[in-house]
Structure 1
Amino acid sequence: MSPVTVRDLPNALHDDGAFVRRLAGRRPAAFLDYDGVLTPIVDRPEDAVMSDSMRDTVRALATRCPVCVVSGRDRAVVQRLMGLDDLVVAGSHGFDIWSPRIGTIPDNPAAGFEGLIASVTGRVLAEVGTIPGVKVEPKRAAVAVHYRLATDSGREQVAALVRQLLAEQPDRLKVTPGKMVYELQPKIDWNKGRAVCFLMDVLGLDSPDVVPLYLGDDITDEDAFRALRGRGIGILVGRPDDPEVAGRATDAEFVLASTGEVEQFLTRLGR
């Protein structure tokens, strides 16, 4: 099936029971992005703290079905912002996976790239880290450069450095774009979609009676939407009038307009 835009998607809450029919009595397993899904996008990444009501909703859902949080942020950061430490969390786009039952899941596709990431992080901090409005976020297997609050000149400096780093390491480094952020990662075949499929296998969720649901809002979540085509359901979180979402082709099958609708949806799913 060809990708569509957010305007073409039925709403998972409001469109005449279309989502409920897709479940067809099977058990859901919820895979949830963090920023833009469980908490609104904010100007400063460190301010994206989960609300008490969303925390209660997610905690209640986890008593009814498997819940996994899949984020570009480092796992420990996600756990701190959520105020929850008893959920499966795949941090750093799945490079760092932890389960309360298993502990750290040892399969680390970024092994051997530690020196590269440390070097790139140092360059980014030194060359753009002091630009007003730029926030550098070192991660276990990547470095993210947020530029939402930067001027046009500052954004161009960041973009120029990213282009330079990719030109210097074309076989070892890649960039994953997001909402006002560049994330520099090892150039390996790993993403949120691969992480979700890996988790389904590890957690015993790859069976016909389970429907994996993935809720995401960003470009990086499209890998998970594609991975679940034909076996699960992708739900894009975003408004049709949001310029960061509206014109983007998506492989999701349903939409929720806001984190408020996400909370309503998860509450209903947990009943």
Structure 2
Amino acid sequence: MTTRMDVALSEINADLHTALATFAAHEQILVALDFDGTMSPLVDRPEDARPLPASALAFETLSQQPGVHTALVSGRNLASLAAVYPEPMPQICIGSHGAERRLPESLRAHWDDQPLTMVQSERLKSLSQALEMVAKTHENVTLEYKPSATVLHVRRATREVGISAIAEAKHALNSIHGVKLLEGKSVLEASVHQGDKGESLTWLRELLQVDAVLFVGDDVTDENGFKVLTPADLGVKVGSGTTLARHRIGSPQDLPDLLQFLISVRN
């Protein structure tokens, strides 16, 4: 795939509709969605996020169609997702960029949550302490703790403070071996887990034996997902910014129309 710069939504609607129709013609498909900035508009406080009702309803409708698998693929941890997503949640949920995986009973034998090793636990403690020092000295910079990572949030800070905090955090973490950094929109995640959304999508493709994958995401970390898509797959970027995805929608408010169109052509 080639990198594309910003394209106005009106210029790609016809192409996207054609691509969705081609994708829908496959017998077995996976529709995988990011959460923050994709199903839910971005908010200052992660706990205030909610999927747009029309998106959640369309996603649930898709999951009930023969030959269609649906999955949330998020950087959030699974507990955080469960707290903000209304019932019914999708049966397949990938959390913490792949470190956590919630599967239906029929697939649970394919995944075991592995506890952190002693080395990973010590590494997580060290990186958390480093980020705590950064957050303590920067106004409106907060931390989020995950089972295998700690996240520095700068969305509520001024632009200058945010840039400074992330730069200091990267410098502080340089000395800790084995830390994976994932930088997104106003966040820096430091993890002891080495996976990402691309690895998670590849794993789901093989597990579910699907013919094609649709992945929709908005953030820099979603590029890891777009880069593993094949020519039969479909990547859709939400919002502006350079991306490997071949198509784009303007905002989370456009996602219900995309999903409804997919439902209609699938039928």
Q: What's the TM-score, normalizing by structure 2?
A: 0.85
89-98 vs 14-23, greater mean Cα deviation: 14-23
Residues 193-232 of structure 1 show CA distances to partners (whole Å, capped at 9, x for unaligned) of: 0111011112232xxxx22100011111111111013241
For the structure 1 residues 92 and 126, does the alpha-carbon distance in structure 2 shift closer, same or farther, using more than 3 Å as the test? Answer: same
CA contact (8 A) 2:162 2:186 kept: no
Aligned to 1:123: 130
Structure 1 stretch displaced more, 21-30 or 138-147:
21-30
Name the structure 2 match of 1:31. 32
Residue number in structure 2 paired with 1:241: none
Alignment partners' CA distance in 1, 2:91 and 2:206: 17
Partner of 1:92: 96
1:222 and 2:223 correspond: yes
Closer, same or farther: CA 232–154 of 1 in aligned 2, 3 Å: same
The structure 1 residue matched to 2:190, chosen from 184, 188, 191, is 184
Tell me if structure 2 keeps the 8 A contact 1:38–1:50.
Answer: yes
1:144-163 equivalence runs, <5 A: 144-152=151-159, 154-163=161-170
The aligned counterpart of 2:54 is 53
Q: In the superposition, relative to structure 1, how do residues 152 and 23 fare at CA in structure 2: closer, same or farther (>3 Å)?
A: closer
Distance in 2 (CA, whole Å) between partners of 1:62 and 1:130 is: 46
Alignment partners' CA distance in 2, 1:180 and 1:132: 14
What are the ranges of 5 or more consecutive residues in structure 2 without an aligned counterpart?
Answer: none
In 2, Cα distance between equivalents of 1:53 and 1:2: 32
Give the 3 Å change call, closer, same or farther, for CA 44–24 of structure 1 in structure 2: closer
The verdict on how the C-alpha distance between 1:153 and 1:99 changes in structure 2, with shifts beyond 3 A counting, is: same
Contact 1:12 1:265 in 2 (8 A): no
Identity %: 26
Task: Please give the per-residue CA displacement for 1:154-194, whole angstroms capped at 9, x wherever unaligned.
Answer: 3255224312333212x411321100111112373x21101
Q: What is the SS of the residue equivalent to 1:168? A: coil
Secondary structure at the counterpart of residue 181 of structure 2: strand
Match of 1:194 in 2: 199
Spell out structure 1 runs of 4+ moving beyond 3 A. 8-17, 107-112, 129-132
Please list, as runs of the form range in 1=range in 2, the aligned pairs for 1:1-271 lying within 5 A after superposition: 1-7=1-7, 13-15=13-15, 17-23=17-23, 25-27=25-27, 28-64=29-65, 65-84=68-87, 85-101=89-105, 102-103=107-108, 105-106=111-112, 108=114, 113-129=120-136, 131-152=138-159, 154-169=161-176, 171-186=177-192, 188=194, 190-205=195-210, 210-238=211-239, 245-246=240-241, 248=242, 250-271=243-264
RMSD over aligned CA atoms reads 2.6
In structure 1, C-alpha distance between the alignment counterparts of 2:146 and 2:183, rounded to whole Å = 15
Letter in structure 1 aligned against 2:121: E
Q: Distance in 1 between matches of 2:150 and 2:123?
A: 11
Residue-pair matches, total: 257
Larger mean Cα displacement after TM superposition, 25-34 or 12-21: 12-21
Structure 1 residue 151: Cα displacement: 2.7
| Aligned partner letter, 1:91 | G
Normalised to the residue count of structure 1, the TM-score between the two structures is 0.84
User: For residues 237 and 172 of structure 1, what CA distance do their matches in structure 2 show?
Assistant: 31
**Structure 1: gaps of 5 or more residues:** 239-244
Structure number with higher helix proportion: 2
Q: What amino acid sits opposite 1:46 in the alignment?
A: E
Amino acid at match of 1:44: R
